[in-house]
Amino acid sequence: MNKILVTGGAGFIGSNFVHYLVANTDASVTVLDKLTYAASRESLAHLPADRVRLVVGDIADASVVDPLVAEADAVVHYAAESHNDNSLNDPSPFVTTNIVGTFTLLEAVRKHGVRFHHISTDEVYGDLELDDPQRFTEQTPYNPSSPYSSTKAGSDLLVRAWVRSFGVQATISNCSNNYGPWQHIEKFIPRQITNLIDGVRPKLYGAGLNVRDWIHADDHSSAVWTILNKGAIGETYLIGADGEVNNLDTVKLILRLMGHDENDFEHVNDRAGHDLRYAIDSTKLRTELGWKPQFQDFEAGMVNTIAWYRDNEAWWRPKKAAVEATYAAQGQ
């Protein structure tokens, strides 16, 4: 696979994957990205121009998608509207990008016979009780809660149908919560780090007992590359690094690592329909394809992530005031 089309490659996880491809493979990469509020050209800066090309365009526009798919050996599909809170305020772009956009890409890979890998989330499975001994597996029934997760679930089901009905050569992965460099500051971890840099107390939704299963974005990238090369067509693989932590403990960790009293945060309005707990069982990916995560120490990964936001203020600073104004209007 020499020519890879990465949709959403100017966003958080997509740009991490492009950096991964440049560092670890010989592939040449075309990024197709609409450059929404969530994207940043700078996330792709300093990559070699003979390896990485950025095309600005919409995945829901067949006239843009078709020629790019025609020249690719594989499509790795990250592009999405990705933030739950935004989907509660305005679900419309979630339906257009996540469902119609995925449909548009599927029609193009069907027409040109191109390998497709669809990036999805553990949120399609809904949530778990705190004391549930089960974690999500590939057999867990879909039960999404938010407009975001329901549109991701819809896109997964489209991929499954295009595999079965049209023989499209596709795989799907559902990953847990990512952290690391280049994550938009609307998201939980970078929001709290950048608040503390600004002398503002971290904001915890509700009591903060909700559990997220954290994985470093680099480990997500290595898992996707493994599935693209070794995964069985038509299969779904769950990606996770056994990283369950509740939000309260995550905020306390960030406060401690940044030199503050670990109780120096504030509770704000909870998210409507807030999923309680996500937890991934990634046994299938580990045993069948031999993948394992490299970052298994959450504290060490957080030290690196804090350092990255401290060192890259120019990357996030222009977005900070508007993000916080939106949250403030919601009492968050």
Measured from the CB atom, the residue of 30 and 221 that comes closer to ligand TDX is: 221
End-to-end CA gap in the chain: 45
Q: Return the bridge partners of 245, or none.
A: 212
Measured from the CB atom, the residue of 102 and 247 that comes closer to ligand TDX is: 247
Beta strand pairing status for 211-213 and 244-246?
antiparallel
**Closest-CA residue to 175 (of 228, 131, 118, 247):** 118
Q: How far apart are CA 212 and CA 151, in angstroms?
A: 20
Place of tokens 């990469």: 29
Q: Which of residues 40, 43, 84, 151 is near ligand TDX by CB under 6 A?
A: 84
3-state SS of 211-253 is EEECEEHHHHHHHHHHHHHHCCCCCEEEECCCCEEEHHHHHHH
State the catalytic residue, choosing from 122, 156, 218, 281.
Answer: 122
Q: Which of residues 19, 110, 191, 277 is near ligand TDX by CB under 6 A?
A: 191
Measured from the CB atom, the residue of 170 and 175 that comes closer to ligand NAD is: 175
Q: Which of residues 60, 99, 105, 254 is near ligand NAD by CB under 6 A?
A: 60
At 277, the amino acid letter reads R
Nearest distance, CB of residue 58 and ligand NAD, angstroms: 4
Q: Which of the ranges 126-134, 157-165, 187-195, 228-236 carries the binding residues for ligand TDX, by CB under 6 A?
A: 187-195
**Closest-CA residue to 121 (of 80, 179, 175):** 175
In contact, 230 and 169? CB cutoff 8 Å: no
In contact, 241 and 214? CB cutoff 8 Å: yes
191 binds, among ligand NAD, ligand TDX, none (CB under 5 to 8 A by kind): ligand TDX
Query: x/- binding map, residues 99-138, to ligand NAD, per CB under 6 A?
Result: --x-----------------x-x-----------------
In contact, 302 and 254? CB cutoff 8 Å: yes
Is 148 a catalytic site residue? yes
State the catalytic residue, choosing from 33, 58, 81, 123.
Answer: 123
Is 122 a catalytic site residue? yes
Q: Is 220 in the site for ligand TDX (CB under 6 A)?
A: no
Q: Which of the ranges 88-96, 203-211, 256-264, 315-323 carries the binding residues for ligand TDX, by CB under 6 A?
A: 203-211
320 contacts: CB under 8 Å, gap ≥ 6: 185, 194, 198
Measured from the CB atom, the residue of 177 and 305 that comes closer to ligand TDX is: 177
291 contacts: CB under 8 Å, gap ≥ 6: 222, 223, 226, 282, 285
Measured from the CB atom, the residue of 52 and 224 that comes closer to ligand TDX is: 224
Q: How far apart are CA 205 and CA 209, in angstroms?
A: 9
Measured from the CB atom, the residue of 118 and 252 that comes closer to ligand NAD is: 118
Q: Which of the ranges 14-22, 71-79, 80-88, 129-137 carries the binding residues for ligand TDX, by CB under 6 A?
A: 80-88
**Residues classed as catalytic:** 122-123, 148
Residues at the contact surface with ligand NAD, assessed by CB under 6 A: 7-8, 10-14, 32-36, 38-39, 58-60, 78-82, 97, 101, 119, 121, 152, 175, 177-178, 184
Q: In the complex, which residues of this chain contact ligand TDX (CB under 6 A)?
A: 82-84, 121, 123, 177, 187-188, 191, 203-205, 210, 212, 247, 271
